[in-house]
Amino acid sequence: MRVLFAGGGTGGHLYPGLAIARALKRIDPSIEPFFVGAARGIERNVLPSAGFPYELLDLHPLYRSRPWENWKTLRGALSGWARLGRIVKAERPACVVGTGGYASGIALAYARMHGIPYVLQEQNSYPGLTTRLFSGRAAQIHNGFPEAANHLRAGKSTKVFDSGNPIEPPPAVGPDKAAARRAWGFPAAGGRVMLVYGGSQGSKAMNDTVAEWVRRGIPDGLFLIWSTGQGTHADYASLETDRVQVRAYLSPVADAYAAADFALSRGGAIATAELCAWGIPPIVVPLPTAAADHQTANARALAAAGAAELITQRDLNVDSLSRAVEALLADPGLLATRSAAVRERARPRAAEEIATRILEIIAAPALTSQP
C-alpha cells in the first residue's frame, strides 16, 4: 500500500519525511513509501541512496524578492500537477504526508482536490506557509513545537497532535559518557564538553566568534567539539588543540551528542529536536535570514520553557558568548535545570508515534478522508 511523501527543498523538510517513512516500514512492512520532491532541492542528492522510490519534479519556491522569476514557479506547478496525475493513476496512495517546503504544496493541493487524505508534519514553532494553507482540510497535523497550534486554523475533523519532530532517536540505553569523552581525546571526567554546531554548511558568524574566543583562551575546564562546516574547515583547523577538536562535519553526530554537556547551535527545528532528545541544552543563535524568522521563534519557545538561552546573531560576540558559557560552568544547578527542561521538550519517539497515527488513517479511510 503506497503512502506518498511530499516535502523537501531543504534537509529540514526532507529528513522528517524519511524518518516517518522508515518508522512506517518498521511497523508495517506492507507500506510502500513513495517520495515526491524538487529536482533543485537537497532531495536530488539524498533520495537516490535513501532506499525508497521517488520522483523529482521541476518545482520552485515563490520568488518573493524576485517576483519576475515566478514564471518558473507556475511552469513547475503545471508540469508537476501533470506528473502527479500519472503517479496517482499508476497507484493511488492511501495517504499523502506533507512535511513542508515548496516541494510539498503541489502534492497536497492534488490530494485535496482528489479526495486523498493528507497529513501535515510541521517542524517549527511558527508554521510555514504550506502548513498554514492546507491545515483546514488535513486529516492530521503533527506539530514539532506545541506552540505551532496557536497559528493554525485546523478543520473541525482535523486531529492535531503535539508529536514532536521525527528524528533518529538516541539509543534506548544511554551511551557511556566517560567513554564518549575519551573517544574525543578528553578526560573521562571533570570539566564540561561544549558542542559547536552551525549545521552541515557551518555558520560563519558562529565560527568567527568561536575562533576569536579560542584565540583569546577558553575557560579552564572547558572542552570543545567544533563542527565548522565542510567548506570552511581549512580556515579554522589550525585552532585545534587537546581541548578543542575541530571537524568539518560530524558523522555520526551521535558521537558528539554522547560527549556533550551543552551546545552552541542554530535554531533549526531538527537540530534542536535532536539536542532535546539527547538532553543537551543549547545556547541558540538563530539564523536571521530563515524564512519568516522561524529559527528565532523556535529559540524563543525553548528559552521560554527554560531549556535554552537565546543570543541573536546581531548580539553574538566573544563577550556575550563568554558570559553565557561561564554562567553554565559556574552554576551546575543552572545547567541541571536547563538539561531537565530540554528533556521535557524531547519527543525521541516522534517518528513512531506519527507513523502509528498515519496507519489509523489507512485503516479507516472512510472516517478520515476529506470532502
Same domain, 208 and 268: yes
Residues 134, 191, single domain; the answer is no
Residues 103 and 116 in one domain: yes
> Greater confidence, 367 or 101?
101
Report whether pLDDT(369) > 80.
no
Residue 250: its pLDDT value, please? Answer: 84
Answer whether 104's CB lies under 8 Å from 43's CB.
no
Give pLDDT, residue 365. 55
Same domain (yes/no): 274, 125 = no
Residues 225 and 338 in one domain: yes
Whole-number percent of the chain with pLDDT over 70 = 98
Segment 113-124, tens digit of pLDDT: 999 999 999 999
| Chain centre to alpha carbon of residue 91 | 30
> Do 219 and 117 reside in the same domain of the chain?
no
The predicted pLDDT at position 249 comes to: 85
Please tell me whether residues 303 and 215 are part of one structural domain: yes
Give the CA count within 13 Å in the CB-facing half-sphere of 328: 28
- Over the chain, what is the mean pLDDT? 91
Instruction: Please tell me whether residues 147 and 252 are part of one structural domain.
Output: no
Q: List pLDDT tens digits, range 116-157.
A: 999 999 999 899 889 999 999 999 999 999 999 999 999 899
Regarding whether 228 and 164 lie in a shared domain, the answer is no
Over residues 43-55, mean pLDDT: 91
Of residues 161 and 77, the one with the higher pLDDT is 161
Considering only residues 62 and 22, tell me which one the structure prediction assigns the higher pLDDT: 22
| Average confidence (pLDDT) over 226-252 | 91
Burial class (CB in 10 A: 0-12, 13-18, 19+), 336: exposed
* Confidence (pTM): 0.82
Task: Summarize pLDDT for 303-324 with one digit per residue, the tens.
Answer: 999 999 999 999 999 999 999 9
Does the pLDDT value for residue 102 go beyond 80? yes
DSSP per position, 64-81: SS-GGGHHHHHHHHHHHH
Residues 74 and 40 in one domain: yes
Q: CATH number of the domain that 59 lies in?
A: 3.40.50.2000
For residues 277-288, average pLDDT: 95
* pLDDT attached to residue 207: 96
* 11-20, 186-195, 334-343: the lowest-pLDDT one: 11-20
- 188 with 322, same domain: the answer is yes
Weakest mean pLDDT among 167-176, 213-222, 281-290, 349-358: 167-176
Question: Which of the four pLDDT bands, split at 50, 70 and 90, describes residue 370?
Answer: very low
Q: Which domain holds residue 258?
A: 177-344
| Domain identity same for 253 and 327 | yes
Q: How many domains are there within the chain?
A: 2
